[in-house]
Amino acid sequence: MSFIQKTQTLAAAYEDLATGREDFRVAIGNFMNEFFLYLVDERQYLLDEPIQVPENPTEDQLGWAAFCAGAAEYLAERYDLRCPDWAHNPAYILPEPWYHPACQVFPALRKHFEQTAPEPFRKRNVFCSDRVFVNAHPSSREPNNLDELEQRRQQRLSAMSPEERAAYLAKRSGKPRVHIVA
Q: How far apart are CA 52 and CA 29, in angstroms?
A: 20
Cβ neighbours of 145 (radius 10 Å): 18
In a domain, 137, yes or no: no
CA dihedral 35, 41, 43, 49 (to 10 degrees): -120
Query: Which domain, by its residues, includes 123?
Result: 10-127
Task: Provide the sign of the torsion angle of the four alpha carbons 39, 40, 42, 44, taken in this order.
Answer: positive
Verify that 103 and 156 share a domain, yes or no: no
Residue 43 resides in a domain: yes
User: Does residue 116 sit within a domain?
Assistant: yes
How many whole angstroms separate alpha carbon 43 and alpha carbon 24? 20
- What is the predicted pLDDT for the residue at 3? 47
Integer Cα distance of 66 and 61 in angstroms: 9
pTM across the whole model = 0.78
Could you tell me if 101 and 157 lie in one domain? no
- Looking at the fold, whether 169 and 122 belong to one and the same domain comes out as no
109 and 53 in a single domain? The answer is: yes
Total domains, the chain = 2
> Which one-letter amino acid corresponds to residue 149?
L
Is residue 49 within 8 Å of residue 9, measured between CB atoms?
Answer: yes
Residue 34 lies in a domain: yes
**Which amino acid is present at 143?**
P
116 — alpha (psi -120 to 50), left (phi > 0) or beta? alpha
| One domain for residues 62 and 114 | yes
Examine the domain organization and report whether 108 and 153 are in the same domain.
no
Judge if 153 and 110 occupy the same domain: no
Euclidean distance between CA atoms 10 and 180, whole angstroms = 56
Q: Taking the chain (182 residues) in consecutive chunks of 10 residues, what is each chunk's mean pLDDT?
A: 72 97 95 95 97 96 98 97 98 96 87 94 96 83 64 73 78 55 48
Whether residue 109 is found in the same domain as residue 19: yes
d(C-alpha 114, C-alpha 75), whole Å: 19
Q: Quick check: 116 and 130 in contact, CB under 8 A?
A: yes
50 and 106 share one domain: yes
For residues 51 and 86, membership in a common domain is answered with yes
| Same domain as 47, residue 123 | yes
Answer yes or no: do 150 and 118 share one domain: no
88 within some domain? yes
Q: How many Å apart are CA 159 and CA 55, to the nearest integer?
A: 58
